[in-house]
Amino acid sequence: MRSLQVQAMAASHWQTKAARETLLQRARMLKNIRAFFDERGVIEVETPLLSHFASTDPHLDSLQSCFREQHCYLNTSPEYAMKRLLADWQQSIYQICKAFRDDELGPYHNPEFSLLEWYRIGFDMPQLMDELEQLIKHLCQLSPHISIDDAGFERLSYQQAFETFAGINPHQANARQCYQLALEKGIEIPQGLGPDDDLGQWLDWLLMQLVLPGFAKERFTFMYDYPASQCALAKTAVNEQGITVAKRFELFFGEVELANGFHELTDADEQLSRFQQENRARQQAAKAQNPIDENFIAALKSGLPECSGVALGLDRLLMVFTRSRAIEQVLSFSWENS
Amino acid sequence: MASNIAFIANANRQKFNMATYSTNQFKNGLKIILDGDPCSITENNVVKPGKGQAFNKIKAKNLRTGRVLERTFKSTESVEAADVDEMNVEYLYSDGEFWHFMEPTTFEQYAASEVAVGDAVKWIKGQEACVMTLWDGAPLSITPPNFVELAVAHTDPGLKGDTAQGATKPATLETGTEVKVPLFIEEGDILKIDTRTGDYVSRA
């Protein structure tokens, strides 16, 4: 009797939990993405998933592997390798690939996920946001749930979003003020986050608790001009109010983040110094320091063309198109039964 | 027989050398201390605003009160581990203040308080194989067997001619617990009871 139950469980475990129609829609989405970029003369490329180097981003953890006793890393995004091609070719490129992140599992996270990443030579940030908007509208034709008319796009600067929905200027606030605001608004304060913690962590928490819930539910929202402290691989620039901001944007549907883009930093020295700074932050957070991708730095030194690039999470986009509540509903097999 | 009065150990909980778990070790079933009580994680999700700081949102069941808590942790935060074990034990007797259980292979004895025994007291009279949950070596809760057999101490005679389908009457078991039984049950009958629901199953 017991063994029969075990067999029954195993029997349901091997099958996909995704609806057949959802997986067919994934196939159509990939086809339409390729058609979109073909038409624009953007070349599809493929770069390694496995690398000797890893991202130094203190908020990302790489999955690690071993080849002939040599330590290696699964990529958290194809960014470094794609920029090496960009520096080499001076040509706009796109890639559809898997990316891997340790410790990311939840309704919107699977340790392995699909990314569309592309780089446009000569584009600034607003131009790339325009193209991302066009792509989404193009793909929305696939979804019976979203009409192109409904697929409205809002654009808000990080500052506007925080001022509107949290009542705080993120460029002038400090951690203590954020803490006070959390107390006043009566929002939960996570264990481990106190008034003396890093401002960036507080802004991330307020973003999730106060700002994103204010975004229009069934619409796409671009948020751009991030605090310079969150610049990652983006250029920084001084805005109209004299504040240095990162030329970085993210795209959300409702509260869900779909894409992250940069007006790409081309300065090799600045990039190297940011990586070193990130490694120091990793050390402070008791995380292993990661080997900085010297090939990538060398490519920047040789000359990355002025460009903008963006990574779009395809699983989450498919969740939007299919009205799915959990990422496993759009994956053939999720971590649970992979 | 050495009597190990384990509840005393509870008062002397060793506060030094505490084990901790980092949020990246969180998984369902992991036992941690929240608000001073041992809890078992029932749900663990990572939430993250785009590229930034990750947070773990968890649900956990308080093993002492049974209540479910929701908590958020900054990722990489560490949390005190709860030293929680389960052990098969046999119920021996109650002295009115404590309920005494024995681990059948080592003969080690444990005294559980009324709070720890909880509802199990309704179903055990002696010699039942129970599961004892221990926290820092002291009894935290007792789970009785799923089915127990207990005699009816008192019940009114069933009314002759009452043929209503599914009609029941109250019966008091030898442990003092009242259950609903079919009308044909008489005093002295041995009944099989499902302790998870408190329902009469059959005559044993």
Using a pLDDT cut of 70, give the percent of chain B over it.
Answer: 88
Q: Which residues in chain B touch residue A62, judged by CB atoms under 8 angstroms apart? A: none
Q: With cut-offs at 50, 70 and 90, classify the pLDDT of residue B115.
A: confident
Q: Span A191-195, mean pLDDT?
A: 91
CB B115 within 8 A of CB B138: no
Q: Where are the domains of chain A?
A: 11-152+293-338
Type of residue found at B150: L
Is it the case that residue A99 has pLDDT exceeding 90?
yes
Which residue, B143, B38, B128, is CA-closest to B84? B38
Mutate to test the interface with B, among A109, A188, A204, A274 (most CBs of B within 10 A): A204
Half-sphere exposure of A323 (CA within 13 A, CB side): 5
pLDDT of residue B24: 86
Whether residue A190 and residue B79 make contact (CB cut-off 8 A), yes or no, is no
CA angle A251, A252, A253 (to 5 degrees): 135
Interatomic CA distance for residues A197 and B140, integer angstroms: 37
Q: Which residues in chain A touch residue B54, judged by CB atoms under 8 angstroms apart? A: 59, 103-104
Q: With cut-offs at 50, 70 and 90, classify the pLDDT of residue B2.
A: very low
Going A193 to A197 to A203 to A204, the CA torsion angle's sign is: negative
Helix (H) or strand (E) segment spanning residue A256:
strand A256-263
CB A194 within 8 A of CB A201: no
Note the pTM of the prediction, 2 decimals: 0.80
Is it the case that residue B124 has pLDDT exceeding 70?
yes
pLDDT of residue A276: 96
Does B49 contact chain A (CB < 8 Å)?
A: yes
Instruction: Tell me the average pLDDT of chain B.
Output: 86
Q: Which residues in chain A touch residue B74, judged by CB atoms under 8 angstroms apart? A: 190-193, 197, 201
Is it the case that residue B11 has pLDDT exceeding 70?
no
Q: What is the ipTM of this complex?
A: 0.80
Interatomic CA distance for residues B127 and A294, integer angstroms: 70
pLDDT of residue A203: 95
Q: Span B66-88, mean pLDDT?
A: 91
Is it the case that residue B4 has pLDDT exceeding 70?
no
CB B128 within 8 A of CB B147: no
Type of residue found at B156: D
Q: Span B54-72, mean pLDDT?
A: 91
Instruction: Name the CATH topology of A11-152+293-338.
Output: BirA Bifunctional Protein; domain 2 (3.30.930)
pLDDT of residue A145: 76
Residue of chain A whose alpha carbon sits nearest to that of B74: A192
Which residue, A196, A210, A289, is CA-closest to B74? A196
Q: How far, in whole angstroms, is CA A235 from its chain's centroid? A: 17
Does B7 contact chain A (CB < 8 Å)?
A: no
Is it the case that residue B60 has pLDDT exceeding 80?
yes
On the 0-12 / 13-18 / 19+ scale of CB atoms within 10 A, A69 is: exposed
Q: Which of B44, B50, B72 sits opposite A190 (nearest CB)?
A: B72
pLDDT tens for residues A269-306? 999 999 999 999 999 888 899 999 999 999 999 999 99
Tokens 């030898």 belong to which residue? B174
Tokens 């706009």 belong to which residue? A92
Question: Count of H helices and E strands in chain B?
Answer: 2, 16
Concatenated DSSP letters for B110-178?
A: EEE-HHHHGGGGGT--SS-EEEEEEETTEEEEEE--SEEEEEEEEEPPPPTT---TT-EEEEEETTS-E
pLDDT of residue A9: 52
